[in-house]
Each structure stands twice: as structure tokens, then as C-alpha cells.
DNA sequence: CATTACCTGCAA
DNA sequence: TTGCAGGTAATG
């Protein structure tokens, strides 16, 4: 479930709640495959007694910075969530990791599908993780030129390429679809076919959709919750994701669903032309299309 | 590039 | 019963 905005909100809400606390014990760990490194006995040896200095994020990894140079890196994958619970709350069968804190509260790693992963990393391990990932799309190092360079020479389709964490860190299926709609770019276009103007629009669109999603505390389709157990609301603001057969909020054309790289892909066939340079330029202001009022408006046909 | 695997629950 | 789900890694 969680993409960059959801993990960002989780990290912020964890940081606000557990900064400075000490992990007193691993109280439950009933799905051992979630721990990728180190081996279990080392984890049980190293984690208790560690103080949490902060919680942050890199790509879709939640990073809990501990003392002595350790970092607990948690990936929520499809259905995971991290919630701080009061001392009297008991974990359910889907809560596969429970970390007890020195004030009696506990961090629950809840994960219905068991795809989530945990790593306890030393500084070298953290650096290796960092270097395996592309630039942060909301960071100052991510410029239209950087995006353009990363797409140059890639004959693969733009939409699956946006899901490649080594190309850009943090985009997932929802926000890749949303960004391409905002930018007016067809998801199947070869990445290298994007003009500099396309790259500029896509760069702005990626930032816009992620920023808006963070403002709305992420998207909750099913399992996502922030560190307080609360849902996000950005699913109420989708332009194309999961909107097949409904009217494009910009032009009224029906949104289509196709599958590429085994992922559902949603787009407006009018606003996102298959070939570049034709048809109407989509509006660039993301607020212009944010209202349902535009649904009645039609164009062409 | 496509397919399969990893898991479980839910809606069509 | 079948297909689908916010992700990623492994395999032809």
C-alpha cells in the first residue's frame, strides 16, 4: 500500500511519538521471514536497550535511527502499518512484530499479507540501501534536468519506469498514474521520447501529486494507517487511479484501464495522447481540475 | 519484457 | 470461484 506519502506520514507520526524512547524488548515476532538482516539471535541481542533518536524515511523505507549507529529499516510493502499503541492494547493475529518501549507503550508492525520486511542496519548497510535507490522526488537534488537525464536513452515505457525505485525513489502505482495524468503524458510512451518540456511537466506533476497526498495524510485504500492508527484521505482526490469508466475531471472523457508491467494503469485517452506534440495541452495548474464541477464539461467527440 | 512467487482477504 | 490489491525479487 504505502508509497512515499504514506511512509512520510508514518515516519512523522512515529517520530512525534517515540523519539527518545528506549526499545525495551521484542515482545512478539511470529513471522520470522520478515527479518532480512541480521539473523534472529543477533536481532534479539542488539535491539533491546537501543534508544530511538528519530524516525524518518528514504524512498518507501521507514527508518528508525537508533543509538550506536544502528538503523531499524522497515518496508511496509503492500499491507503493512506501524502504529504506536498504549500499554493495554493487545496485538491481533496480523500484528507480527511488537516492540516494547520503556514507557509501557508498544510499536505494532501490523501486516495482513506478510510482505513487509525489517532490517537492522549498521552505517555501511544504511549507505548501501541509500545508494541502491534513486533521488528523492521532493528533494532539492531532483530537478527537471535530473529527471530528463534519468529517462534519456530508456526505451522502456514511462509508467513502469516511474515504478523503478532505482530511477526515482518512492513512487508507486497510485502516484505514477496520477503524475502522468497531471502531466498529460500517456503511460505507454517510451521514456526516451519525452521532450524537455514533457520532463518539466512530469517533474512538476510528480512533486504536485506527492505533496498533495502528504497534505491529505496519504491514501487509505484498505490497510494503510498512520502511526496513530488514522486513515489518510487522499483517495478522495484521485484523478485517475481506480477511476476506470468515470469521467476525466479535466475533459469529461472516460478514464481507461489497461495493464502494463502487470500493474493496473489508468489514464485519460484525450488528455494523455499516445504520441507527443498533438492534441490539447493539459492545464498545468493542478488545482484547476481538483473540483468535481469540471466533470460535466465535455470536449471533442 | 513477461511470468511467477510471496500472502491474505475481499468484491464481483 | 476467480480476479484483484498500495511492492519487490527471482526466473525465463
Domain ranges of chain A: 4-131, 144-297
Q: For C8, which residue's CA is nearest its C1'? A: A77
pLDDT tens string for chain A (301 positions)?
A: 699 999 999 999 999 999 999 999 999 999 999 999 999 999 999 999 999 999 999 999 999 999 999 999 999 999 999 999 999 999 999 999 999 999 999 999 999 999 999 999 999 999 999 999 999 999 999 999 999 999 999 999 999 999 999 999 999 999 999 999 999 999 999 999 999 999 999 999 999 999 999 999 999 999 899 999 999 999 999 999 999 999 999 999 999 999 999 999 999 999 999 987 544 444 444 333 433 322 222 222 2
In angstroms, the CA of A251 and the C1' of C7 are apart by 32
122-161 of chain A touching strand B, CB 7 A cut-off? 155-157, 160
Please answer whether residues A218 and A232 qualify as being in contact, where contact means their C-beta atoms are separated by less than 8 angstroms: yes
In angstroms, the CA of A224 and the C1' of B7 are apart by 17
- Return the closest nucleotide (C1') to the Cα of A225: C6
- Please identify which of the residues A19, A257, A263, A284 carries the catalytic annotation: A263
Please answer whether residues A57 and A7 qualify as being in contact, where contact means their C-beta atoms are separated by less than 8 angstroms: yes
Largest CA distance in chain A: 67
Query: Near strand C (CB < 7 A), which residues?
Result: A 1-3, 6, 59-60, 75, 77-79, 113, 115, 163, 165, 172-174, 218-224, 232, 242, 262-264
Q: Is A3 a catalytic residue?
A: yes
Q: Which cell numbers in the block locate residue A123?
A: 552505517
| Distance from the Cα of residue A243 to its chain's centroid | 19
- Return the closest nucleotide (C1') to the Cα of A224: C6
Give domain A144-297's CATH architecture.
Orthogonal Bundle (1.10)
- Return the closest nucleotide (C1') to the Cα of A157: B1
Cα(A9)–Cα(A65) distance, integer angstroms? 16
What pLDDT score was predicted for residue A1? 63
Q: Which cell numbers in the block locate residue A52?
A: 530511538
**What is the per-residue burial (b if ≥16 Cβ within 10 Å, else e) of A131-169?**
eebbbbbbeeebebebbbebbeebeebbbbbbbeeebbb
- Please identify which of the residues A3, A8, A178, A200 carries the catalytic annotation: A3
In angstroms, the CA of A190 and the C1' of B8 are apart by 35
- Please identify which of the residues A50, A57, A58, A60 carries the catalytic annotation: A60
Contacts of A215 (CB under 8 A, 6+ apart): none
Cα(A185)–Cα(A206) distance, integer angstroms? 12
Cα(A148)–Cα(A166) distance, integer angstroms? 15
In three-state secondary structure terms, A72 is: strand
Determine how many CB atoms are found less than 10 A away from the CB of residue A93.
8
Cα(A58)–Cα(A39) distance, integer angstroms? 23
Q: In this structure, which topology does domain A4-131 adopt according to CATH?
A: N-terminal domain of MutM-like DNA repair proteins (3.20.190)
Q: Is A2 a catalytic residue?
A: yes
A52: nearest Cα among A11, A6, A15 = A15
In angstroms, the CA of A112 and the C1' of B7 are apart by 8
Q: Is A137 a catalytic residue?
A: no
- Return the closest nucleotide (C1') to the Cα of A132: C8
Question: Is the distance between the Cβ of A258 and the closest atom of strand B smaller than 7 Å?
Answer: no
Q: Is A278 a catalytic residue?
A: no
- Return the closest nucleotide (C1') to the Cα of A160: B1
Question: Is the distance between the Cβ of A280 and the closest atom of strand B smaller than 7 Å?
Answer: no
**pTM beyond cutoff 0.75:** yes
Q: For B7, which residue's CA is nearest its C1'? A: A113
Amino acid at each position: 500500500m504505502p508509497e512515499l506519502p504514506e511512509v512520510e506520514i508514518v515516519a512523522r507520526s512515529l517520530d512525534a511519538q517515540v523519539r527518545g524512547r528506549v526499545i525495551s524488548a521484542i515482545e512478539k515476532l511470529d513471522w520470522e521471514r520478515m527479518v532480512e538482516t541480521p539473523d534472529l539471535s543477533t536481532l534479539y541481542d542488539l535491539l533491546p536497550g537501543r534508544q530511538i533518536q528519530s524516525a524518518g524515511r528514504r524512498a518507501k523505507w521507514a527508518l528508525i535511527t537508533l543509538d550506536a549507529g544502528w538503523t531499524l529499516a522497515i518496508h511496509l510493502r503492500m499491507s503493512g502499518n506501524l502504529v504506536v499503541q498504549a500499554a493495554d492494547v493487545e496485538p491481533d493475529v496480523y500484528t507480527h512484530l511488537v516492540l516494547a518501549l520503556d514507557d509501557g507503550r508498544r510499536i505494532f508492525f501490523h501486516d495482513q499479507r506478510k510482505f513487509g520486511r525489517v532490517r537492522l542496519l549498521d552505517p555501511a548497510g544504511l549507505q548501501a540501501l541509500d545508494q541502491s535507490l534513486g533521488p528523492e522526488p521532493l528533494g532539492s537534488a531532483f530537478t527537471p534536468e535530473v529527471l530528463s537525464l534519468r529517462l534519456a536513452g530508456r526505451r522502456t515505457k514511462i509508467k513502469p519506469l516511474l515504478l523503478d525505485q532505482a530511477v526515482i525513489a518512492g513512487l508507486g502505482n497510485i502516484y505514477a498514474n496520477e503524475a502522468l495524468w497531471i502531466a498529460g503524458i500517456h503511460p505507454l510512451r517510451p521514456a526516451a521520447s519525452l521532450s524537455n518540456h514533457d520532463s518539466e511537466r512530469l517533474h512538476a506533476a510528480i512533486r504536485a501529486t506527492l505533496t498533495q497526498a502528504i497534505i491529505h495524510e496519504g491514501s487509505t485504500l484498505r490497510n494503510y494507517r498512520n502511526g496513530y492508527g488514522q486513515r489518510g484521505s487522499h483517495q478522495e482526490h484521485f484523478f485517475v487511479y481506480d477511476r476506470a469508466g468515470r469521467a476525466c475531471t479535466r475533459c469529461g472523457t472516460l478514464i481507461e484501464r489497461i495493464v502494463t508491467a502487470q500493474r493496473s494503469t489508468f489514464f485519460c485517452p484525450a488528455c494523455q495522447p499516445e504520441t507527443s506534440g498533438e492534441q490539447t495541452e493539459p492545464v498545468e495548474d493542478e488545482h484547476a481540475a481538483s473540483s468535481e464541477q469540471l466533470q460535466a464539461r465535455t470536449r471533442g467527440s
